[in-house]
Structure 1
Amino acid sequence: MNERADVIVIGGGIVGTTTAFFLRRRKRSVIVLERGLTGQQASGVNFGGVRRQGRALSQLAMSNRALQTWKRSRELLGEDVEFLPSGHTRVCYHAHDAEYFQRYADEARAHGLDLEVLEGRAMFERFPFLGREVLAASVSPLDGHANPRLAAPAFGRAAARLGARIVENTEVVHIEKEAGGFRVESAAGDIYRAEQVLVCAGAWANTLSTQLGEPVPLVARGPQMAVTEPVPYVFQHSMGVYTTVKAESVYFRQIPRGNLVLGGGPPGPADIATRRAGVLPENTVAQMAQFRRMVPALGPLHVIRVWSGVESYLPDSEPVIGPSTKADGLFYAFGFSGSGFQIGPGVGETLAELLDTGATPIPLDSFSIQRFQRGASAHAESATSETSS
């Protein structure tokens, strides 16, 4: 097999499928190559939060752009991905975190995100179910949640209806630059060619970027997810704890059917070779203790299922988004460190704009893969100096 398109997208998660969708709306031919099924890994196993607050300020432009797509998702996709703009609230236990809530709200306002910070009596009047250790709450009324098991596959189907070629169960093993573009080879020996290539292969992206001279310190981890039995629908907002203490950092959302989706705390093991990740029982037990602390009424609930998946993390918890520094026409989008679901459609639309026109008004410099190349070069120079001395 030998196929050609304007763009090859490697990875069929939320970023890859939305990029393909927006590229087709720009009339660019595109092939998506996915090693498994669309949305099977990080994009399909995450919490499903459509959360802007708490992001680095540099991400808010794409995050705001993504929210507009989430709002129109039923219209754009012709199917329901269960987006619910129910609101998102973060709470905290420590005084320095309460101060951060107010500081972040002041800074985020300039980036189009309006938050309301509540403390004391005003907070408990709004959220009477909160535990009395909670000091402050930051409320983002326009955020919400969607179903991650539905979203990326729905964007993939919509892209296909517009003419994109979605090729599943196809592992890319080699990319090379050639005259006129790129040659991409699958494990089965199929060859694909394009003028531009986007690598958004999640935890497997470093394998490909390393081939092209741009290795990154990417690691795989598994989110610790659970769902409870259904109970009456009372928690409209997604709720989470902001803290620097990883064990305290839990979050939940309730779906209209009544089940509560739970996550957070320390991650579990994940293996890119086997494509498997696990939930540690001790993590689930610790999560439940933290949920009782945040909302004591959650104590009696029974967990009926747990799951995980393979997510990719970078040391600074910021993604790589944008062009390669080694090869013209090569682009990256990976390493979202557990926070890629909400922003995914915004990243996809921004990349489609960049690939199609060569520019985007959204600054991407802080997400450049070059930040890791600079670190690697400095380390290599240091090692050479020490050896010679």
Structure 2
Amino acid sequence: MVSKALSIYIHYPFCKSKCPYCDFNSHVREEVDHKIFLRAYEKELEFFAAKIGKRKVVTIFFGGGTPSLMPIFLVAGILKKISQLWQIDQHCEITLEANPTSSEGLKFKELRHAGINRLSMGIQSLNDEDLKFLGRNHSAKEAIQTIEIAAKIFDNFSFDLIYARPKQSLAAWKEELSRAIDFGTKHLSLYQLTIEKGTKFFAQFARQEFLMPDENLSAEFYEMTNEVTAKAGLQLYEISNYAKKNYQCQHNLVYWQGGDYLGIGAGAHSRIYLEGEVARSAIMMIHEPISWLEKVKNFSAGIQKIEKISAQELLEELILMGLRLSDGINDKIFIDHFCKKLEQIFDLEKLQKLEKQGLIKLSPDNIKIAEKSRLLTNQIINKVSEAVIAK
């Protein structure tokens, strides 16, 4: 079983508008009764506190949706309830996702005072034309102003950019990325645009309203991105995430390294060991916010389903998530979950063969994808999974 450390994810499902590329659980509402939602979040936290027992909270993450739309009393109230139920580590990373509009930027000081110590901003582009294409509500000027405000209030802040956009050239992306780096952020999340089923972009792409970069150009975008960030001292530590030393997102590392996390709110997910249970639980909350609210009101938690994760499923998850990291998977993860070392989990001959092919780097206590093979991550994950010793 993993340690008693706990990470908590709070899902705020509301946005001012739905971005055409977004397939997250987000909903547009004109009015939200935040007092009712605060009580619902509190009830759900209380419910799970009784199920998982004493823990030390090491990270908290407010995601969405657009959490920067939350009134300050809601953020502060949730953090207060968490502190009443569990011990909070003195170095606890508390992140909130924010949109870079001028109105939300004005709240940054209040958010910092409420307890948020890390901000993650959805900038997405520094060009007005591309922001319009991406369906964003802010301008490039607003984005830059908001970054400057964040830099004065938060030592630890990050922002997202989407690249490999239709009609975008390598030169244009290099210039935009260099501008982003010049703001001095110690963390960047850089995602290639993907077309997800159920989004507005999916329908537009099917109608051939725009074209996407081909596989070779996408690879060139990725390689150049890694080169530019590395020169700036932002090290690639996960497929799409770059950071200065000691500024990796600790909350996301919990996901990728197989730690326990509790998801609260509509559509949130958990991977957690409930108190007294040997098998890990996968918990999914009701997706639709009002339906979730009603179930919390009547049953104290808006659970849609709870499933026990088999040892085989858990191992597959750990491989899938862990190999996304540049540092790969360490022995400790397997020992924590299975009381077994790497050599007891895998057929070493098969792994050594993958190493000879230049796909992975292997040591007695670690597996990681070779740097030059990062573009083949998905295929390599499948090959490593095939090297698991059959039970």
TM over 0.5: no
Bin for the TM-score computed over the shorter chain? under 0.3
Normalising by structure 1, we get a TM-score of 0.26
Normalising by structure 2, we get a TM-score of 0.26
The structure richer in helix per residue is: 2
Q: Larger relative CO (CA 8 A, sep 6+): 1 or 2?
A: 1
